[in-house]
Amino acid sequence: MNESNRHPFLHGLSKHRGTPPTLLVIFGASGDLTQRKLIPALFNLAVDQLLPSCFSLVGFGRKPISDEAFREVARASIQQFSRRPFTPEAWESLAGSIVYHSGDYDDLKAYQSLAARIEETQKKFGRDIQLLFYISTPPNVFECILQHLGHSGLASWNKNTPLASKVIIEKPFGMDLKSAKQLNYTLRMQFDEEQIFRIDHYLGKETVQDLLVQRFANSIFEPIWNREYVECIQMTVAESIGVGSRAGYYDQSGALRDMIQNHTMQLLALTAMEPPVSLAPEAIRDEKVKVLKAIQPLTLKPEGGDVVRGQYTEGLVGGQKVPAYLKEEGIHPDSSTETFAALRFYINNWRWQGVPFYIRSGKRLAKRVSEIVVQFKRPPGVLFTQGNRFDVAANTLVMHIQPDEGISLLLNSKIPGLETRTQPVRMHFHYATTYGSNTPEAYERLIIDAMIGDSTLFIRGDETETSWALCDPILAYWKEQGHTGLEPYVAGSWGSLAADRLLWENFHTWRVSGS
């Protein structure tokens, strides 16, 4: 690829970035995430020549399959899921680096034999390599993987050198505050915090990274980004898909744990935090923790409380009939797991006091859309009235996270003609028009960042704990309530009606998401 047709993503992220020689071990090699996201991401990094010249991928899994069979699986997943087309040349550049290591996660010998293979690879490269462990397994084996990485000496490989081992771990980071603390403790028994990369793939999305740029690289926003000018902030992270093949996990988890505790709280932190003193990872993460800590405890009560939960019933999504959650395969027929949650937060600090933050997320909603809406206060109602009606819309700034990534601003304008009549119009910036539509996937950015040790787009241990501290009382309240207050919604709608009531109490309404 020549420099002139490189995607803007690649500027500043070229092979000159000096990614050290790396051996990546993926635990959970035959899992869904590995097939859909991780292998295709590595393929795209190989296409962009962003992988280090000394690179090796070891798939670690329980299935006893050969290197060749694993390569075939990898090839098929690239053909099916890669954002860029499969080409034999690009595949050949990656295929030679892929091997498979089978073993039980709780068998120390499997890690010892892995260590022996790694030694061989290092010899073959003729230089020291860093080890990057990617834990993409169900959470019940997190602890034993981490402990065996410690016992086999793999966690302390090249310790205290720039090539010290690193570990990327996928959520869930616990099921509540207590288990999150336990996981952090186990992680830190084997690795220092700088070696730990807790992944939240929302942070790797281009539009999410753009949040800080929009806020702090444009002087027009920051002066009005506060309680003086902002009426409310809304965040929607809606999915049209159901639980798919993940019923076992999802039924234990629900919308609050699966999406809100992590992805939406990260969006909230980036939207509401104070300007960091620099773009250094710790500077940004300190500000995120600070704002999360300023969130006021939520009011938990059946009428007029700050939280709402729902579960989908049968309905139509994209014109297709879909079953109720309780009829999905693998879901307990009496489950009270929420597939939709909406929350109202207040942030008790100088900037935001009194401004409601509304958050909603759920499965089997009308469409897949994630957006952040900053709704500004209306101007005084003295001029543009129609009849007796003041007819000027509130300005809204919308960050369209996905799909159709971009930013739009709702303004009032004069309808051409003899009368002075106003109409809201929308100014739109589309990523696809400006930058092209083939934007890199979040995992591409995150994997390469972990390789070079940049933790800016990863979550620090205290961030997860602060976020769990907010969610724990909600989970305890819902547990105590059982089915009471779990409001059904029809699949294909915008979720439980009670979520609308959260806003009506302040005379607000949800923006029609995705419009």
DSSP 440: P
Instruction: State the nearest-atom distance from the C-beta of 38 to ligand BG6, in Å.
Output: 14
Instruction: State the nearest-atom distance from the C-beta of 37 to ligand BG6, in Å.
Output: 9
Selecting among 148, 201, 263, 400, the annotated active-site residue is 263
> Phi/psi of residue 398, each to 5°?
-115, 125
Q: From CA 481, how far away is CA 188, in angstroms rounded?
A: 36
**Residue 95 vs 491, nearer CB to ligand BG6:** 491
Judged by CB under 6 A, does residue 239 bind ligand BG6?
yes
- Residue 58 to residues 19, 61, 133, 284, 502, Cα–Cα distance (Å): 18, 10, 10, 33, 49
List beta partners, residue 178: none
**Residue 361 vs 375, nearer CB to ligand BG6:** 361
Instruction: State the nearest-atom distance from the C-beta of 401 to ligand BG6, in Å.
Output: 8
**Residue 206 vs 287, nearer CB to ligand BG6:** 206
**Residue 201 vs 309, nearer CB to ligand BG6:** 201
Structure-block tokens of residue 473: 């009382």
Q: Give the interface size with ligand BG6 as a residue count (CB under 6 A).
A: 3
User: Closest CB to ligand BG6 belongs to which residue?
Assistant: 258
From the number of C-beta atoms within 10 Å of its C-beta (0-12, 13-18, 19+), residue 73 rates as buried
Instruction: State the nearest-atom distance from the C-beta of 201 to ligand BG6, in Å.
Output: 6
Structure-block tokens of residue 488: 């059904």
Is 334:357 a contact under the CB 8 Å cutoff? no
**Does 263 participate in catalysis according to the annotation?**
yes
Instruction: State the nearest-atom distance from the C-beta of 204 to ligand BG6, in Å.
Output: 9
Structure-block tokens of residue 205: 């999305």
Q: From CA 41, how far away is CA 37, in angstroms rounded?
A: 6
DSSP SS3 for 80:
helix
Is 35:77 a contact under the CB 8 Å cutoff? yes
- Residue 503 to residues 22, 39, 294, 307, 487, Cα–Cα distance (Å): 50, 42, 21, 11, 16
Closest CA to 87 of 24, 1, 205: 1
**Residue 201 vs 288, nearer CB to ligand BG6:** 201
Instruction: State the nearest-atom distance from the C-beta of 274 to ligand BG6, in Å.
Output: 27
**Residue 48 vs 170, nearer CB to ligand BG6:** 170
Q: From CA 439, how far away is CA 441, in angstroms rounded?
A: 6
Using CB under 6 A, pick the residue from 210, 258, 306, 444 that binds ligand BG6: 258
| Angle of CA points 360, 364, 368, to nearest 5° | 70
SS3 of 378-411: CCCCCCCEECCEECCCCCEEEEEEECCCEEEEEE
Binding to ligand BG6 in span 172-201, by CB under 6 A? 201
Judged by CB under 6 A, does residue 441 bind ligand BG6?
no
Is 349:299 a contact under the CB 8 Å cutoff? no
Instruction: State the nearest-atom distance from the C-beta of 256 to ligand BG6, in Å.
Output: 12
Instruction: State the nearest-atom distance from the C-beta of 258 to ligand BG6, in Å.
Output: 5
**Residue 206 vs 258, nearer CB to ligand BG6:** 258
Q: From CA 51, how far away is CA 90, in angstroms rounded?
A: 12
**Residue 184 vs 236, nearer CB to ligand BG6:** 236
Judged by CB under 6 A, does residue 206 bind ligand BG6?
no
Q: Which residues bind ligand BG6 (CB under 6 A)?
A: 201, 239, 258
Catalytic residues: 263
